[in-house]
Structure 1
C-alpha cells in the first residue's frame, strides 16, 4: 500500500536565501512579461497586424489592452502589489493568448516549430503565474505589501 502523502502548508519564506531567491524569481518573471508589454506599445502597428492576421477582433485595441495587462501584471509581481491579482491577470492573458496567437497546429509546416516554441514558452509562463497566484495569500518578502489578503 502507498503511504499517504501529507502536505504542510507553506507559511513563510524562511529557508536559507528563500526570500532572496523568490525576489530574483519575481524580478525575472515579472520583468520579462512587463518588457513584453512595453514592446506591445513600441511596435503597436506591427503587433496589431499580426493579431489581425490571427483573427483577433479589434487588433489594435487588443494589443494595447494586452500590453497594459502585461506591464501592470509584471510590475505587480515584481513589487508585490496585489500579487494574486497581478499573477491572475497574467495567467488569464496567457490562457487566452497562447492558443490564439501560437496555434502551431494551424500554420504552414515551415512556421510550426517557431509557433510551437512560443506556445510551449507561454505554457511554462502560465504555470509560473498560476504558482504565484497560489502563493498570493502569503506575505511576500521584499514586497510593497498591498494585496487582497
Structure 2
C-alpha cells in the first residue's frame, strides 16, 4: 500500500508543480488577472502563491513534512477559490460557469489536501516511502 500512497502523492503534487512553475516564470503576465479581481500587488501575490504551491507540492511528493506541505496547499487553495473564482459575482453565464468550475476544483483540492494532512497526522511514521515523519502530530 505504501507505493499506492506514494503514487497518489506524486499525482496530486504534479498539478501544483506545473502551476507553481507558471506562477514563478510568468508572474508579470499573470499579475494583470490578479489585479482585475481587485487585489493589489498582483505580481507579488502571483510569486507568493507560486512559492506556496512549490513548497507544498515538493513536501507532499517527497514526504518531507508532508503534513506541512498539505497545509501549505490548503492555505493557497481556499483564499484562491474565494478571491479569484467568485462565480457569484459574475453576470455572464459562461464566465459564471467557468468560475464556478474553478472554485469547486480549488475547494475539492483543498479537501484532498486536508485529507492528506489528516492521513499524515494520524498515521505518522507508518506512512511509508517518506523522508520524514509529520511535523504536526
Question: What is the TM-score of this pair, normalised by structure 1?
Answer: 0.83
What number of residue pairs does the alignment pair up?
A: 132
Alignment of 1:62-141 (within 5 A): 62-109=45-92, 110-137=94-121, 138-139=124-125, 140-141=127-128
Partner of 2:42: 59
Unpaired stretches in structure 2, ≥5 consecutive residues: none
* Displacement over 3 Å in runs of 4+: none
Question: What is the TM-score of this pair, normalised by structure 2?
Answer: 0.90
Conserved 8 A contact 1:19-1:142: yes
Q: CA RMSD in A?
A: 1.3
Partner of 1:27: 10
Post-superposition Cα deviations, 1:21-64, rounded to whole Å, max 9, x if no partner, equal 11111001112112111110222122111000011221111110
Shift of 1:146: 5.1
More helix by share: 2
Unpaired stretches in structure 1, ≥5 consecutive residues: 1-17
